[in-house]
Chains A and B, each alone.
Chain A
Amino acid sequence: MTTKTAWLAPFTHPTPERLEAWFEREAAAGWQPDELGDMSAIRLRMRKTKASQVRYVVDPQQRVDEDYIATYQDAGWQYVGELSSLHVWRRRYRDERPEAFTDSASRRARNRRLAWVTGAVGALALVGMVIRVGLGVAGIGASSEDWVLEAGVLALIGLPLVAVTAVLLRRRDAA
């Protein structure tokens, strides 16, 4: 079985639409994700299959119940798995590309759900960066000489997440 690894897929394709488009390009090239697990957001295993036209849907949901799964499955969607609270669905099609979100209100709500997560994590990372810079400049803490590196890592995490949040919120307004 031929496989390949996609690293940090939800981060390199940070909005639902971009991640869906990436999955669909991969499917058209004959690559499908294996079963998704806890580490798949970081290391996603893809296996070579027959190239096919597949619609992917990414639905950010913190908590889902059986009714959520049943509603999608009844409507013909196959559950792929969860990527850090992003529930991934797929469906093969021939003619019209199927949609799971068919009105602007539910698309806005989807972006809002994801924006809450990216905004909260991004803001926490930036607050952590500010605190680390403050402690470093004041020379407080056992490893105070490492503050530039640690603050830099927090900025690298926080700034892209805040940028993604801004994109999602702009789309929410425009949808």
Chain B
Amino acid sequence: MIRELTREETTSIRREFNKWGIFKYLIDKVFVLRESEDNIKSIFLIPFNLKKLMFYPCSCYGGLYIGNIQKKKFIPSIPFFDIVAKHSNNFLYVIVDHNSEKLTLYGRDIFGSSILYASENIEENSLLLILNKSKELLGIGRARFHTTKIMQKGKVTINTLLDIGTYLRSENLLK
């Protein structure tokens, strides 16, 4: 079933867009929510002119899949972070070497020695984007260390939470 979002749900998502510096991307667009039989709430971002078509009973999906809502919290998807990587200047990130680029695409964690650059303000547990040398999105990670220690050798310093191959490997995330 597709429905409009509650005010609370909308606020939670807008806050996330604001936090990642992509609030402007919402101009002329609107969110819709798809609730599956097993209560998975998926969020889609659509242009205004698509809205009417989304609410027919046979409508299943539309626009861009930007994440899920779990326990009232918005969990962004890879297409969300793709927007961040392309349209924002305000996010934490690391740049990894070529070898780590390949491993990240299979969901592997990041070793400190493979990080070529890290944003200045990374804290322990910070959520950050994992980019390659061309600043293309590879995945999303959680830092285990502060910026000053994130490039240390011999240790995994970032846990990969989601990578751009995730959805192709596992098609069961969204029902």
Q: Do A and B bind each other?
A: no
